[in-house]
Amino acid sequence: MSRNYELKQRAVSQAATRQKIVDATVALHASVGPARTTITAIAQSAGVQRLTVYRHFPDEQSLYRACGGQWMALNPLPDPAGWAAVGDPGERMRLALGEIYAQYRTTESMTANVLRDLPELPALQEVIAPQGLYWHSVRSALARGWGVRGSRRRRLRAVIGHAVEFETWRSLARQGGLDDGEAAELMVQLARAV
């Protein structure tokens, strides 16, 4: 065998091992959460040694970035640009919340675990910080066009901020028993009441 072939085979093997580690990490984060996911559990789930995990991911940030990157590729956030063409702000909010709430339903276990564990994991906070810009753009897109000023605008922004929160969806859908459409409609009605 040629040296090039051996190097290619080794690279393929390393990539496969790395992917097994990422897959194991994603599954553990979804089931027990990032704070309860240990390197030992990742190694066992991936069928590798702990040292192999550290060789591929020397720190928490690199592991969280790989895990988050794969998760986001498989579960992309709704695109606010698609809502821009909707002129009526209530209809825009209904459409957006429908997509956001569907996302929450699909990703509920992972989202709940990450939000629960986030305060105790500075490395994870650093990795997901850019999502703050996404949520800012969502709130801005939903606040356009309502024609309110002053304290009414402040209250409307508060309603919109509340409406897009995972815990709001969870309260309405899980504890309240509403389907995603009903939950979105309730939030639109609250925004219109402002």
pLDDT in tens, 8-37: 777 677 899 999 999 999 999 999 999 999
CA separation for the pair 24, 52 (Å, rounded): 13
Q: Which domain holds residue 84?
A: 76-193
The pLDDT, as a whole number, for residue 18 is 96
Average pLDDT of the segment spanning 154-179 = 97
For residue 180, name the pLDDT band (cuts at 50, 70, 90): very high
For residues 16 and 55, state if they share a domain. Answer: yes
For residues 60 and 121, state if they share a domain. Answer: no
Q: What's the total number of domains in the chain?
A: 2
- State the DSSP string of 29-82: HHHT-GGG--HHHHHHHHTS-HHHHHHH-SSHHHHHHHHHHHHHHHSPPP-GGG
The answer to whether residue 76 scores a pLDDT higher than 70 is yes
The pLDDT, as a whole number, for residue 9 is 78
Average pLDDT of every residue of the chain: 95
Give the percent of the chain with pLDDT over 90.
Answer: 90
The pLDDT, as a whole number, for residue 68 is 95
For 92-146, the pLDDT digits (tens) are: 999 999 999 999 999 999 999 999 999 999 999 999 999 999 999 999 999 999 9
For residues 112 and 59, state if they share a domain. Answer: no
The answer to whether residue 46 scores a pLDDT higher than 70 is yes
The answer to whether residue 70 scores a pLDDT higher than 80 is yes
Task: Write down which residue in 27, 55, 73 finishes a domain.
Answer: 73
The pLDDT, as a whole number, for residue 112 is 98
For residue 1, name the pLDDT band (cuts at 50, 70, 90): low
From 59, 20, 62, 64, select the one nearest 42 (Cα to Cα): 20
For residues 81 and 155, state if they share a domain. Answer: yes
pTM of the model as a whole: 0.90
Whether the Cβ atoms of residue 30 and residue 108 lie closer than 8 Å to each other: no
Task: Write down which residue in 57, 73, 89 finishes a domain.
Answer: 73
For residues 105 and 185, state if they share a domain. Answer: yes
CA separation for the pair 170, 101 (Å, rounded): 9
Cα dihedral across residues 50, 54, 56, 59: positive or negative: positive
Give the percent of the chain with pLDDT over 70.
Answer: 99
Task: Write down which residue in 73, 96, 121 finishes a domain.
Answer: 73
